[in-house]
Amino acid sequence: MSRRACFNSSYSIRHMTASKHILEHSLKRVVVFQTHELSEETLQAYRHLKRSAGSRYQVELLLDVRSGTTVPPELLSETVCFDSREFASWGLPVMGDTMLPGHCHFPILRYFLANPAIEMLWHVEYDVRFTGAWNLLFDTHESNEADLLCCHLQNRLDEPQWYWWGSLRGPTSDAPIEALRNPDRQWRALLVVSRYSARALRTLVEYQRNGWSGHQEVLIPTVLTQAGLKVRDLNGRAVNCEQLRPRRRSFYWSTSDLTGSMSEFGSIRFRPASLRPGLLSNTLYHPVKPKSMLQKKSLISRVFSKLLAARQILRAMIYRRSRQVN
């Protein structure tokens, strides 16, 4: 099958190309680097990932072509394309008219369906940087039995005012759903760097086909824990499996307030974006954007933003400490 050929399935996959060498050689471990643009900064990040991922993993570029991005000739054989403008026709329940926000996992599920021999899949978004060799992160978690590895794993009681909790919807049947009735059974995770087992990917497809929907940050960890699968933060926090003691040097750090807003003091955060990663080695940073995508802010604006973030984090720390005492 041609690398540029289209792959058709019951999910109406029309733009994602079949991964020829994976289908032929049945590779078990894959890393996909998902992006919608191919600036020089993004290409450098992809090449660093590919060079340092190690021999266990096949690395591929998962490219959204909605804006007409063309693939460099030297990357054609390792690029899988999709068009996010057609996400609503892919056969999965949606929560809005656009792929963003909330549906960033759709291309991963389609990729898995096109390559069912995969046993383990790492997903890396284009604005993530790791200041070390990626195989250090991958090899550290090689024996980790979690079905989902993620960042910033939080319970609804930790971030009760997060906006996207309300997006979670269960199947249309009248059967009682524990995760929908009890807030302490709802989980949120940042999935800019994540690892999925085949069992996790199959479960997500099954649950979504049965009617589950919602923003991927709440849908994915909640569905998997509801199904009894093992979910673990890269820093050790876990659901349905043993909580690991944090490493002496974590691969990332994050903090958030009661609204789920992730502080700019974390190496992994929602915003603001930066042009370069931080100075610490072997650390994950997000978001790191190409220069063309950054917005300039005045010094006063940056200082005010940091003071506001510190105030919100202090309030969250007081709230969570009081909950532990009670």
Residue 10 falls within a domain, yes or no? no
Return the bridge partners of 154, or none.
188
Query: Using one digit for the tens of pLDDT, what is the confidence trace for 277-299?
Result: 999 999 999 999 998 887 665 55
> What's the rounded Cα separation, in Å, for the pair 261 and 186?
17
**Region for 110 from its dihedrals, namely left if φ exceeds 0, alpha if ψ lies in -120 to 50, beta otherwise:** alpha
Confidence of residue 22 (pLDDT cuts 50, 70, 90): very low
The reported pLDDT for the residue numbered 173 is 58
In a domain, 111, yes or no: yes
Give the pLDDT confidence score for residue 73 in this predicted structure.
95
Residue 15 included in any domain? no
Q: What is the CATH number of the domain that holds 80?
A: 3.90.550.10
Flag whether 12 is in a domain. no
Query: Omega into 221 within 30° of 0, i.e. cis?
Result: no
**Residue 320 — pLDDT band, cuts 50, 70, 90?**
low
- Residues 108-118 as b/e (b if ≥16 CB within 10 A, e otherwise) read bbbbbbbbeeb
Residue ranges making up the domain that contains 241: 20-298
Indicate whether 77 belongs to any domain.
Answer: yes
Given the structure tokens 């105030």, which residue do they identify?
311
* Amino acid (one-letter) located at 3: R
Q: In this prediction, what percent of the chain has a pLDDT beyond 70?
A: 79
Mean pLDDT of the chain: 85
Any domain includes 319: no
Q: Residue 84: which pLDDT band, with cuts at 50, 70 and 90?
A: very high
Residue 312 above 90 pLDDT?
A: no
Query: Could you give the C-alpha distances from 180 to 52, 163, 257, 260, 296, in angstroms and in order?
Result: 41, 16, 23, 19, 41
For residue 25, give the amino acid letter: H
DSSP one-letter string for 139-150: HHTTT---SEEE
Beta carbons within 8 Å of 112's beta carbon, 6+ residues apart: 118, 121, 196, 198, 201, 202, 205
Minimum mean pLDDT range among 5-19, 116-130, 243-257: 5-19
Listed in sequence order, the DSSP H helices in 26-164 are 40-52, 106-114, 134-140
> How many domains does the chain divide into?
1
264 within domain boundaries: yes
225-249 confidence digits (pLDDT tens) = 999 999 999 999 999 998 877 666 7
In a domain, 316, yes or no: no
Confidence of residue 98 (pLDDT cuts 50, 70, 90): confident
Q: Are 129 and 29 in contact (CB under 8 A)?
A: no
Give CA–CA dist 229/203, Å, rounded: 9
At 3, the pLDDT band (50, 70, 90 cuts) reads very low
